[in-house]
Amino acid sequence: MLYPQLTSSRNLISLSGIWNFKADYKEEGYVNQWYLKGLKEYDLMPVPASYNDIAVDAALRDFVGDVWYERKVVIPKQWETENVMIRVGSASHHSKIWVNGVLVKEYTGGFLPFESTINEAIQFGEENHIVIGVNNELTWQTLPPGEAYYVEDADGNRKKKLKQQHDFFNYSGIHRPVYLYTTPRTYMEDITVQTDYEGDQGIISYQVVMNQPDEESREAVTVKIEVYDEENQLVGAAAGEKGSLQIDRVTLWQPQNAYLYKFVAKLVSKEHTLDEYSLNIGIRKVQIENGQFLINGEPFYFKGFGKHEDMDVKGKGLDDAMNIRDFNLLKWIHANSFRTSHYPYAEEVLDLADRYGIVVIDEVPAVGMLGQAVPAIGELDGVFTDEKINDETLKEHIRLTREMIARDKNHPSVVMWSLANEASVMEPRAEAYFKELAEAARKMDDRPLLNVNLMLIEPGKCKVSKYFDVIGLNLYFGWYSERGDIDAGKRRLKQWLQECHEAEKKPILLSEYGVDTIAGLHKEPAIMFSEEFQVQFLKAYHEVFDQLPFVIGEHVWNFADFMTGQDLVRIDGNKKGVFTRQRQPKMAAHYLRERWGSITNTHSK
């Protein structure tokens, strides 16, 4: 799905701003047809933003159920001849859009965009009534999985709660921008670009998909492609719906040294441009060879973080200021990569990664496929059962993987797809599940695949690693086990990594390791939760990684402190950030800056 764009053939209006809002505490919205009749006695709510921390109200912060957003908008008369679309960047987790009372779209999934044509429902040149209903419940058939249930409050009123296994707050609402945009009646629905190079010649293969035009209009149009370099010089051209072109003296997109070409696609009829769309593309190649992860033929060592889309007040709402701050910090600390733990991030974030030269591992929201809430300790209950993670869940998993790949395939920054974080992969039934999932993903795109395991999956016990290219390990020895004893944790770590590599013979990425650290708490000698402990823990882990050539990268958990559900082990959220939630450095940030500044992207050991 192409991101909305203002071009010579397309219009664009942002509906970000302040909407009317009402949480449906009494479950009366559907009965009273709020989608048709509108909201009475509403609050004001910004879009995009999570609603949870906006109000000063515990009931709204923890609300589980339907909330309603409403806005009126005049649609220009001049748009009458065009195809008019409404598009939501993401809303958590189940949404419906009504325009003038007509249901135009229903969508499940909290972290990917959805859109619909609305021509049949709108009045051109007049005010139109838009209502978006968002429900934040989860089931065993959604990603992430969860379970909503009812409790009674002191007055005997029923209210819903949510049981979840994943370790981040269930921020809810419209999290990414809402747009109205137009395309011509015959338009480009999708563009796929793949890149390669030989010597100093870049190779771009592309495919343009038009919306289903009839034979006649299809024959009447030609696709024309032009590629421009960063100086805006035309460096390549092609024609046809599908094809390839060469770029002489190519400048590659390199980690921490981005170079973007502009790929312009046009639908042309009798010398007249019907539709136009452009993409920023980077020319680069990703391979796995001899146990190494290669970007442009060079072994790449991942230095960076697992992150979250999370901040004060706005929760998971897109915020350009915070995002640029994050990329500035990534650059400052000499990180070269991050994982979009634990869901696909906003497209706007991937655009920044393309521009800053930050390598991305893109993750589907398959987190919490476990019989226990994080931190999971001891025996795990089975979840790959008929009632819990079943064929329906697999269908959703494949659908969301397809949608993520369709959305993000053209980003040069994205080098690998992560298909799950900490699933219960030692269960026999997980094997067939992940086999089917990985095979489906390989048909969609040729980037390598990652599966991320938790530390309760002992070396050799994972039933699914064989279907993946890289093994991600989330290890917390010296924290969740060997608590406070970094030396013992370090010994266990080394043994674990060696055994795991022996069993799987695949490259290993340390996709998570870290400790909760209260900013400003100093202890000498170091004890758990102090800034000194975080530094010593990271140092000890790095001493081990540096001895093991099959470790292809280190992603510290987490980039910044983030909000979680309330729990004994979560003091105002998860404090494993190297930066605070307000994006200021803890001591560990200075230590990492020194380490990552002194090892290259290749880090040959």
The residues that are catalytic are 422, 512
Please say which residue, 253 or 477, places its beta carbon nearer to ligand BDP: 477
Distance of closest approach, residue 73 Cβ to ligand BDP, in angstroms: 38
Please say which residue, 107 or 343, places its beta carbon nearer to ligand BDP: 343
SS3 328: helix
Q: Which of residues 33-72 bind ligand BDP (CB under 6 A)?
A: none
The alpha-helical segments, DSSP class H, found in 249-373 are 320-332, 347-356
d(CA 174, CA 104): 17
* Interaction between residue 576 and ligand BDP (CB under 6 A): yes
* Interaction between residue 310 and ligand BDP (CB under 6 A): no
Please say which residue, 266 or 397, places its beta carbon nearer to ligand BDP: 397
Tokens of 79: 């748009």
* Interaction between residue 512 and ligand BDP (CB under 6 A): yes
SS3 465: helix
Taking the CB of residue 89, how many other CB atoms lie within 10 A of it? 24
Among 238, 374, 471, 473, binds ligand BDP (CB under 6 A): 374
Please say which residue, 176 or 307, places its beta carbon nearer to ligand BDP: 307
* DSSP β-bridge partners for residue 272: 269
Please say which residue, 85 or 454, places its beta carbon nearer to ligand BDP: 454
Backbone angles phi, psi at 585, to 5 degrees: -75, 140
Distance of closest approach, residue 251 Cβ to ligand BDP, in angstroms: 37
* Interaction between residue 418 and ligand BDP (CB under 6 A): no
Say which residue the tokens 């593309």 belong to.
Answer: 281
Distance of closest approach, residue 134 Cβ to ligand BDP, in angstroms: 23
Backbone angles phi, psi at 358, to 5 degrees: -100, 125
Distance of closest approach, residue 169 Cβ to ligand BDP, in angstroms: 11
* Interaction between residue 454 and ligand BDP (CB under 6 A): yes
Among 53, 167, 347, 561, binds ligand BDP (CB under 6 A): 167
d(CA 253, CA 387): 46
Please say which residue, 142 or 474, places its beta carbon nearer to ligand BDP: 474
Among 38, 76, 243, 375, binds ligand BDP (CB under 6 A): 375
Taking CB positions, which residue lies at the least distance from ligand BDP? 167
Tokens of 203: 């190779």
Distance of closest approach, residue 196 Cβ to ligand BDP, in angstroms: 34
The residue among 168, 111, 110 whose CA lies nearest residue 139 is 110
Site string for ligand BDP, 337-356 (x = CB under 6 A): -----x--------------
Q: By the 8 A CB rule, do 555 and 509 touch?
A: yes
Taking the CB of residue 285, how many other CB atoms lie within 10 A of it? 17
Distance of closest approach, residue 561 Cβ to ligand BDP, in angstroms: 11
Distance of closest approach, residue 42 Cβ to ligand BDP, in angstroms: 35
Please say which residue, 115 or 512, places its beta carbon nearer to ligand BDP: 512
The residue among 466, 460, 462 whose CA lies nearest residue 501 is 460
Distance of closest approach, residue 368 Cβ to ligand BDP, in angstroms: 8
Distance of closest approach, residue 539 Cβ to ligand BDP, in angstroms: 19
Contacts 24+ apart (CB under 8 A), 357-360: 357/253, 357/254, 357/255, 357/256, 357/257, 357/258, 357/413, 358/255, 358/256, 358/304, 358/327, 358/330, 358/413, 359/255, 359/295, 359/300, 359/302, 359/304, 359/413, 359/415, 360/411, 360/413, 360/414, 360/415
Residue type, 602: T
Taking the CB of residue 450, how many other CB atoms lie within 10 A of it? 24
Q: Which of residues 432-451 bind ligand BDP (CB under 6 A)?
A: none
Taking the CB of residue 16, how many other CB atoms lie within 10 A of it? 17
Please say which residue, 178 or 374, places its beta carbon nearer to ligand BDP: 374
Listed in order, strand segments (DSSP E) in 75-221 are: 83-88, 91-92, 94-99, 102-108, 114-117, 127-135, 146-152, 158-164, 173-174, 178-183, 188-198, 201-210
Residues in contact with ligand BDP, total (CB under 6 A)?
Answer: 12
Q: Which of residues 455-484 bind ligand BDP (CB under 6 A)?
A: 474
Site string for ligand BDP, 556-575 (x = CB under 6 A): -x----------------x-
Please say which residue, 9 or 574, places its beta carbon nearer to ligand BDP: 574
**Binding site residues, ligand BDP, CB under 6 A:** 167, 342, 374-375, 421-422, 454, 474, 512, 557, 574, 576
